[in-house]
Amino acid sequence: MFTIEKKTKGLMRAGVIHTPHGDIATPAFVPVATKATIKSLTPEQVSSLGAQVILANTYHLYLQPGDELIRHAGGFGTFMGWRGPTMTDSGGFQAFSLGAAFGTGISKLLKKNDELILPEAVADIEDRETEQEKKVARLAKIDRDGVMFRSYLDGSAHYFTPEKSIEIQHNLGADIIFAFDECTSPTESVHYQREALDRTHVWAKRSLLHHQEKKSQQALFGIVQGGRHEELRRASATTLGAMDFAGFGIGGSFAKEDMGKAVRWVNELLPSDRPRHLLGIGEPADIFDAVSNGCDLFDCVAPTRNARTGTLYTSHGKINILNNQFITDFSPIDSSCGCYTCRTYTRAYLAHLFRAKEMLAATLASIHNLYYIVHMVASIRESILNDSFNAYRDSFFQNYQS
RNA sequence: GCGCAGGUGGCAGAGUGGUCAAUUGCACCUGACUGUAAAUCAGGCGCCCUACGGGCUACGGGGGUUCAAAUCCCUCCCUGCGCA
């Protein structure tokens, strides 16, 4: 399903992923449509801003409106009116976001100033249960067999096993689906990371077996974990790389400053003939870093979430359109941007829409941010094909950081 | 003109002798956001300072009572409602 068009001396490459709903030219950015919608945008807008493929979420669509209903609708792409390729995440991220991260503000990316505090450094999963009980009730609890999720909608309990996740993803009908994994918190101890990784590997195997038994035509990607630890990351890449996955996700927690390094450990070992998707990463610097270390696909909520909260990408860095200075700024968000928003509206108008809390603010900002990231990745691809990646990267950051 | 009710920080609106530089909401200022629990969240928001602390000026104006007043009294001004 994956054709490599150009390979550099290192790990970097440009290629094409073939799916029943069309090709994906890689490296590519994948907008996130968690609940079968790119928040505030129509599929037509998403498509015309240049996105090739979108990613929805298993846990969310299982809860609402239900995967059976989506199966009847013909899959989530058809359901939402998106004609291109689709992906679904397995729900493994919710083991983190509704588990260890719930109510704590912990990000999957530990910033270098976070002092590497390890509040989660509890021995193993059994002791952890009692530790968890002491805290605010989490919505996800992990055991050896799977994850108990509590619905954020009505509190009801739902148990996900690898088989369950795969079944739901079969119903959701995406072209590319992911094995059920445990996304760990970057604050976990090495001991816990190792334990979780063992679990993820067992779950990967079970996901794959179940997928093969059901003879689904969807492409199943396995997910590499291992936190910030080289030994674990390499072990995971080796273990998963030996399995018959159509591609690979690289997931979980990183230290912000050495994410590129962690990705390299993994991509050096993964089979190079299959696509690699870096899960949940999407800031420009991180994408450049990951592409140069061999990643082909990126999904991230950053462009759309930032857009909704007023942070907009420009060629000179991010701006917060809610800042006072933009009230009377009649220039476009980014004068070198070709998106619909920048061609049509001013910063002052966007600032007004945000301050007035008008819905169009989210739409116009999302169009811009997605266009910006999608086209940045597309330009990266072009630069790989033209042997000018380094030059492009250098000129990009010369502007971006100024 | 008489009667009643009111005048509190940009706005709305608490407080009704000390713990009040004054609850809260909005507005405003700034920050955060990386497989979406998110059209969200956090902090700031009288002035000044050697700022964990201290000083000054403030609750329509003026005057008074009190150790102490946004809170009590007098007076003036203003607003709303009712009656003339």
Q: State the angle between helix axes of A347-355 and A359-385 in degrees (0 to 180), rounded to the nearest 10.
A: 130
Nucleotide nearest to A300 (CA to C1'): B34
Which of A284, A300, A316 is at the close of a domain?
A: A300
Binned average pLDDT, 10 residues per bin, chain A of 402 residues: 95 98 98 98 98 98 97 98 98 95 89 60 51 66 94 93 98 98 94 96 98 96 96 98 98 89 97 98 96 98 98 97 97 97 98 98 98 98 98 96 70
Same domain, A312 and A295: no
pLDDT in tens, A13-56: 999 999 999 999 999 999 999 999 999 999 999 999 999 999 99
For position A82, which CATH number holds?
A: 3.20.20.105
Nucleotide nearest to A30 (CA to C1'): B35
Question: Alpha-carbon distance A310 to A274, whole Å?
Answer: 37
Contact (CB, 8 A) for A230 and A269: no
Q: Which position among A89, A175, A289, A296 bears the catalytic label?
A: A89
Nucleotide nearest to A182 (CA to C1'): B35
Which of A277, A300, A323 is at the close of a domain?
A: A300
pLDDT the model gives residue A402: 59
Same domain, A296 and A323: no
What is the spatial distance, in angstroms and rounded to an integer, between the CA atom of A261 and the C1' atom of B22? 54
Indicate the pTM of the whole model.
0.93
Same domain, A221 and A279: yes
**Known catalytic residue at A175:** no
What is the spatial distance, in angstroms and rounded to an integer, between the CA atom of A357 and the C1' atom of B6? 35
Nucleotide nearest to A88 (CA to C1'): B35
A317: left (phi over 0), alpha (psi -120 to 50) or beta: left
What is the spatial distance, in angstroms and rounded to an integer, between the CA atom of A330 and the C1' atom of B53? 46
pLDDT in tens, A47-105: 999 999 999 999 999 999 999 999 999 999 999 999 999 999 999 999 999 999 998 88
Selection from A202, A213, A252, A282 nearest residue A95 by Cα: A252
Closest residue (CA) to C1' of nucleotide B42 is: A105
- Residue A62 has phi, psi (to 5 degrees) of -65, -45
Selection from A10, A321, A258, A291 nearest residue A110 by Cα: A258
Same domain, A7 and A32: yes
pLDDT the model gives residue A133: 47
What is the spatial distance, in angstroms and rounded to an integer, between the CA atom of A240 and the C1' atom of B81? 80
Q: Which nucleotides on chain B have any atom < 7 A from a protein Cβ?
A: 27-41
pLDDT the model gives residue A257: 85
Same domain, A9 and A28: yes
In the beta sheet, which residues pair with residue A157? A150
pLDDT the model gives residue A105: 86
Q: Tokens 């007035």 identify what position? A: A356
Which residues 6+ apart lie within 8 Å of A137 measured at CB?
Answer: A150
Same domain, A127 and A262: yes
In the beta sheet, which residues pair with residue A220? A177
**Structure token pair of residue A318:** 């991010």
Contact (CB, 8 A) for A303 and A369: yes
Same domain, A218 and A358: no
Question: Alpha-carbon distance A216 to A17, whole Å?
Answer: 18
What is the spatial distance, in angstroms and rounded to an integer, between the CA atom of A277 and the C1' atom of B25? 46
Same domain, A128 and A255: yes
The count of other CB atoms within 10 Å of the CB of residue A330 is 10
CA A366 to chain centre: 17
pLDDT the model gives residue A275: 98
Same domain, A294 and A350: no
Contact (CB, 8 A) for A57 and A89: yes
Cα dist. A316→A336, A337, A349, A374 in Å? 10, 11, 20, 17
Same domain, A59 and A100: yes
**Structure token pair of residue A279:** 């899960």
Please state the domain count of chain A.
2
**Structure token pair of residue A76:** 């989530």
Selection from A361, A390, A283, A395 nearest residue A9 by Cα: A390
CA A84, A301, A223, A88 torsion-angle sign: negative
Written as one letter, the residue type at A397 is F
Same domain, A291 and A313: no
Same domain, A356 and A240: no
Question: Alpha-carbon distance A175 to A183, whole Å?
Answer: 22
pLDDT the model gives residue A125: 52
Which of A243, A270, A300 is at the close of a domain?
A: A300
Calculate the CA dihedral of residues A190, A194, A199, A205 and round it to 10 degrees.
140
* Overall size of chain A counted in residues: 402
**Known catalytic residue at A299:** yes
Selection from A67, A58, A98 nearest residue A180 by Cα: A58
Nucleotide nearest to A32 (CA to C1'): B36
Nucleotide nearest to A250 (CA to C1'): B35
Question: Alpha-carbon distance A364 to A40, whole Å?
Answer: 9
Range of the domain at A365: 308-400
What is the spatial distance, in angstroms and rounded to an integer, between the CA atom of A383 and the C1' atom of B3? 85
What is the spatial distance, in angstroms and rounded to an integer, between the CA atom of A361 and the C1' atom of B10? 25
Question: Alpha-carbon distance A192 to A184, whole Å?
Answer: 9
Q: Which position among A181, A286, A296, A299 bears the catalytic label?
A: A299
